[in-house]
Amino acid sequence: MRKLLLSIFASSLLVGCYTMERDCEGFRTGTFEFETFVNGELLKTTFVRNDSIEIDYFQGKSDTSSIRWINDCEYIVKKISPKNMDERKAIHMKILYTEGDNYTFEYNLVGQKKKEKGSARKVSDKTE
């Protein structure tokens, strides 16, 4: 019993000491890809972000949004030319952790509690 408690304590120390990397500075600008499944179909979005503008490319169309950084890992995205009321709503983005060229994030409409998660991959440092 004593060995079991000791091994549980040692394991919890190892897990508790492990922190995920969160180096957000490298993901502020560049060209990124995001993939997700919708109705069984893999959809891919490419977006180019500089410090204050993000341009999304999806299914042959582009859309431009403004970016306001809250801190190194959080920012607010708002479409510059919304086409309807839903597109007028700002989105809060938060980078949770980074690993190599990838980052995992959560996002929600500003003012709403329901959050979703996603992952993106940096494919280039270019912002053109």
The DSSP-derived string for the chain is: -HHHHHHHHHHHHHHHH------GGGGSSEEEEEEEEETTEEEEEEEEE-SSEEEEEETTEEEEEEEEEEETTEEEEEESS-SSTGGGS-EEEEEEEEETTEEEEEEEETT----EEEEEEEEES---
Distance, CA of 94 to CA of 119 (rounded, Å): 11
- Domains in the chain: ranges and CATH: 20-124 (2.40.128)
Give mean pLDDT, residues 42-55.
92
Please state which of the ranges 6-15, 25-34, 69-78, 102-111 shows the lowest mean pLDDT.
Answer: 6-15
> 99: which 2 tokens?
């690993």
pLDDT: which is higher, 2 or 32: 32
- Amino acid identity of residue 11, one-letter, is S
Give CA–CA dist 78/62, Å, rounded.
14
Which pTM value belongs to this model?
0.78
Bigger pLDDT: 32 vs 17: 32
Which residue carries 């990397």 as its tokens?
A: 21
Q: Which of 45, 87, 85, 84 is nearest to 65 (CA)?
A: 87
At 58-105, the pLDDT tens digits run: 999 999 999 999 999 999 999 999 999 888 999 999 999 999 999 999
Across 33-40, average pLDDT: 85
